[in-house]
Amino acid sequence: MRIGVVMRSNSERAAETVDALSQLATRRGLSVGAVPEHGSGELLEPREMADCDVVIAVGGDGTVLEAIRYGVPNDLPVLGVNTGRVGFLAEAETDDLAAVIDMIADRSWSETSRMTLSATIAGKQSGVGLNDIVVEKIKSQQLVSLELHIDDERFLTYRADGLVFATPTGSTAYNLSAGGPIVDPLIDTIIVTPVAPYSLFSRTLCLPPTARIVCTVTLDRPAGVSVDGVHIGTLALDESVVIERGSQRARFISLGRRSYLQTVKSKLKLYEGLDGASF
């Protein structure tokens, strides 16, 4: 079996973890390739990930999102090993490396799958994301005006800093910071949350996963479009981005050690006092 490794660059802890992972994998007869270049592995180009059986991301949530960009188009399962600060998307910690390698070598892992979102600009698919697609202002002192059509029906024009279109997986990222809800990834829905809206209506929408959303700039103020934090284009007046459920789902390796609610409590550091109050 072959493991593709995506690691956080410029991280000593991530580098040490990849070294340990490579040594454990070699002992079990597994080959390891690294992206980006790292001393303990053969350098892999994105297209070469198709020759791998699994992808392991070593770092934080950003590294897992990068691994997903390799995993989804090659239909590969991804496992995150957390060496970052939060690691909401990571299933394993560094202490789990031996168990992870044994599980992969024995082909005994279980999987979950999660919906993705696609962004199409000017008739071309510009990106597929696991977390979110964000349309937001470029100039800091100016709001943008964004008109939404949902399934060919005009809904509303937002004057705001931007709009976050999130998957349930991404509900704990920018969506949560903007005041949106936490949604279990087992539910398929498109979450639409305005960022600092200049409007009496500031509520989140949870739309069916089949919804087709067209977001159009209606003032002469440009808006940037990003997918999972990566800028993919700029919209001028009367230009649009089409947001839909992605045609492929993201595959995740699961250790099955904790529920989603346990992850939320742990990663967001939610505690209860003796009186039952949360803080």
Lowest-confidence segment of 26-35, 46-55, 221-230, 231-240 by average pLDDT = 46-55
19 tagged catalytic: no
Question: pLDDT per residue over 49-94, tens digit each?
Answer: 778 899 999 998 999 999 998 899 899 999 999 987 777 898 899 9
What's the whole-number average pLDDT of the chain? 89
pLDDT at 101: 94
Q: What is the DSSP string of 37-64?
A: --TTSEE--GGGGGG-SEEEEEESHHHH
pTM of the prediction? 0.89
CA geometry: angle 23, 25, 15, nearest 5 deg: 50
Return the structure tokens found at 207: 């739309």
User: pLDDT band at residue 192, thresholds of 50, 70 and 90?
Assistant: very high
Burial class (CB within 10 angstroms; exposed 0-12, middle 13-18, buried 19+) of 135: buried
Question: pLDDT per residue over 22-55, tens digit each?
Answer: 999 999 999 888 765 444 445 556 566 778 899 9
pLDDT at 111: 93
Residue carrying the six token digits 């790292």: 38
- Residue closest to 242 by CA, chosen among 264, 276, 215: 215
Burial track 208-231 (b if 16+ CB lie within 10 A, e otherwise): eeebebbbbbebebbbbbbbbeee
SS3 102: helix
Catalytic residue among 19, 53, 61, 188: 61
C-alpha distance across the termini of the chain, in Å: 45
Inform me whether the pLDDT recorded for 257 exceeds 80.
no
Q: Which helix (H) or strand (E) holds 162?
A: strand 162-166
In the chain the domains, ranked by start, together with CATH numbers, are 2-114+249-267 (3.40.50.10330), 117-245 (2.60.200.30)
